[in-house]
Structure 1
Amino acid sequence: MKIHIVGTGLIGGSFAVGLRKVFPEVEIAGSDLNEEHLEKAQELRIIDHAEKLEEVAQADVVILAVPVDVAKKVAVKVLDHAGANTLVFDAGSTKAGLCEAISGHQNRRNFLAAHPIAGTEFSGPTAVVEDLFRNKTMIICEVEKTAFKLQERALEIFQKLGMRIRYMDPVSHDRHIAYVSHLSHISSFMLGKTVLQKEENEKDIFDLAGSGFASTVRLAKSSPAMWTPIFQQNKENILEILEEYIANLTTFRDLIRNEDFKEVFLEMERTNHIKTILNGIK
């Protein structure tokens, strides 16, 4: 099997090393606008060699692991050059705009719109994790628009990587991901900003920070270059959930201000129900 990875950072690189583990004879080419990433990916043996996008016709599988603001353009270009039996799938965090952009392409049936619910706060080839996708969910959108034999190839890859499959339409995907992923990153960034502002006058604050703080602001270490386009692409859904989140924060603030600690307790107790949901997530 020959695979071409477009974007050799955390996600693309983790696909590469994960696939090399389950398909030992695989040949992996890569391309990346970031020359340093491309060189590092070859140095670390994440990919075997560099290759131009125009050469993807020879690939059995092309994986697009690029920021969502360039994904539409790259997807169209890759589909322009894809061979008749080339499977192309992406790994982006927004789907509606991408699916719309390629809807009329003559090679639309080569494409599978996908989103692995996996990642870390780190980026680049040095952040690659071999088993990043094991026991994680792969969301697939508009599966019916992908040629059946290429669907089968994709499912074999995802299953060998140890992934669970979930099917969803692009609009629902973007709305749900705004709730469980995009809002989490915004919260983390803004909490980090708030503490940094306070730290200007209180130098001991980070000496007092424990594991709870570290886990809560972990996502604030994520790449702004990746997340700004995501917020832009999913603007409407993010604004909707932010309004609700801000309203909940305001209510909680007012309860404390009014010394209604009975209701503070009840608010937290009601929210404790999320434990029963998260206990099912590995």
Structure 2
Amino acid sequence: MNKIHIIGLGLLGGSFGLAARRKFPELTITGFDISEKNLKDAEVLGIITEAKENPDSDTDIILLATPADSLGDILEKTLNEIGENTLVIDLGSTKSNLCARAGNHSKRKQYLAGHPIAGTEYSGPKAAFAELLDGKVMILCEMDKTDLHLKEKAYQLFEALNMKLRFMDPEEHDRHLAFVSHLSHVSSFMLGKTVLQKMEDDRNIFDMAGSGFASTVRLAKSSPSMWAPILTENKENILQALDGYISNLSSIRDLIAKSDGEKIHQELADINKIRDILDLGRG
């Protein structure tokens, strides 16, 4: 592997660039971002070796790391233009629509649908760091539709970055991510909104905010440019997750309204079992 091209030089694209350059010092990494500032920052930070809109004809891998609603057009354009030895990998948080769109493309075998389960609440190339991907899960969808020879290039990259591969159906991926990722972000944003509204009446409210509030609302610092498209691209699954969440909020509200301490305690104790599940997952 000699050349990688990255389209979208924010947190994910930038971290891939930094990590790949660390593992493959001789690797040429070109890149493009619609933001001139991001493009210049990526050059200064050493994420890319050269800024250019179009990859070289002998590029091994093209990584697409742009917002979810832009990936379809970019993927189609990229597939139309690449040579037969180039693999295109997207890093988007939703997979069903993208896989369906690429399904009938004449170069479908040169596309790999991926989603690294890695990120922070910060965005842009200055937020990128090489260790972001170390030990993280990379979900891959519809592996059987990608050329075997080209998949080897992807495996070489992911193995070098110490990523753990998991294989999923695109629809299954989107259903699960709606609950364990997308819902969390919606919840955090709306908690932030609720407290900001309270702040209009009480300017001192943040003086009483402890670590619990900070950790719960942390995701509300995430990029709206990234998350607004995700919420519309995975709309049906997120609506299902929200319906369940709203129902549970209404249920606990009713118990609080009734001052039913015993049932509230039992409810919280039952939910506490999630600790065992999360601890098992970390192990």
* TM-score using structure 1 length: 0.97
Q: Is the aligned partner of 1:276 residue 2:272?
A: no
Gaps of at least 5 residues in structure 2 are none
Take 2:232 and 2:36, find their aligned partners in 1: how far apart are those partners?
Answer: 26
Which amino acid is the alignment partner of residue 50 of structure 1? A
In the TM superposition, 1:134-149 aligns within 5 A as 134-149=134-149
Deviation of 1:212 (Å): 0.8
Q: Which runs of 4+ in 1 moved over 6 A?
A: none
Q: 1:79-133 CA deviation, whole Å, 9 max, x = no partner? A: 1111211111010000000011111111111110000000011111111011101
Deviation of 1:269 (Å): 0.7
Q: 1:9-52 CA deviation, whole Å, 9 max, x = no partner? A: 11000000011111111110001111111111111111011122
Q: 2:60·2:153 contact (CA, 8 Å) conserved in 1? A: no
Deviation of 1:218 (Å): 0.4
Take 1:192 and 1:119, find their aligned partners in 2: how far apart are those partners?
Answer: 20
- Secondary structure of the structure 2 residue equivalent to 1:173: helix
Which amino acid is the alignment partner of residue 91 of structure 1? L
Aligned to 1:69: 69
Q: Is the aligned partner of 1:37 residue 2:38?
A: yes
In the TM superposition, 1:153-232 aligns within 5 A as 153-232=153-232
Deviation of 1:250 (Å): 0.3
Q: Would you say how many aligned residue pairs link Structure 1 and Structure 2?
A: 281
RMSD over aligned CA atoms reads 1.0
Which amino acid is the alignment partner of residue 79 of structure 2? L
Q: Which moved more, 1:148-157 or 1:60-69?
A: 148-157
Q: Is the aligned partner of 1:15 residue 2:51?
A: no
Take 1:216 and 1:227, find their aligned partners in 2: how far apart are those partners?
Answer: 17
Percent pairwise identity: 52
Q: Is the aligned partner of 1:3 residue 2:4?
A: yes
Deviation of 1:78 (Å): 0.8
Q: 2:58·2:85 contact (CA, 8 Å) conserved in 1? A: no
In the TM superposition, 1:229-248 aligns within 5 A as 229-248=229-248
Gaps of at least 5 residues in structure 1 are none
Deviation of 1:57 (Å): 2.7
Take 1:43 and 1:153, find their aligned partners in 2: how far apart are those partners?
Answer: 27
Which amino acid is the alignment partner of residue 158 of structure 1? F
* TM-score using structure 2 length: 0.97
Take 1:20 and 1:50, find their aligned partners in 2: how far apart are those partners?
Answer: 15
Q: 1:123-171 CA deviation, whole Å, 9 max, x = no partner? A: 1111101110111110000000000111122122112111111100100
Which amino acid is the alignment partner of residue 4 of structure 1? H
Deviation of 1:58 (Å): 2.2
In the TM superposition, 1:125-136 aligns within 5 A as 125-136=125-136
Take 1:135 and 1:112, find their aligned partners in 2: how far apart are those partners?
Answer: 20
- Secondary structure of the structure 2 residue equivalent to 1:132: helix
Q: 1:56·1:81 contact (CA, 8 Å) conserved in 2? A: no
Deviation of 1:56 (Å): 4.5
- Secondary structure of the structure 2 residue equivalent to 1:30: strand
- Secondary structure of the structure 2 residue equivalent to 1:279: helix
Q: 1:141·1:170 contact (CA, 8 Å) conserved in 2? A: yes
Take 1:230 and 1:187, find their aligned partners in 2: how far apart are those partners?
Answer: 14
- Secondary structure of the structure 1 residue equivalent to 2:77: helix
- Secondary structure of the structure 2 residue equivalent to 1:226: helix
Deviation of 1:203 (Å): 1.9
Deviation of 1:281 (Å): 4.1
Aligned to 2:98: 98
Which amino acid is the alignment partner of residue 109 of structure 2? R
Take 1:98 and 1:246, find their aligned partners in 2: how far apart are those partners?
Answer: 29
Q: 1:112·1:143 contact (CA, 8 Å) conserved in 2? A: yes
Aligned to 1:24: 25
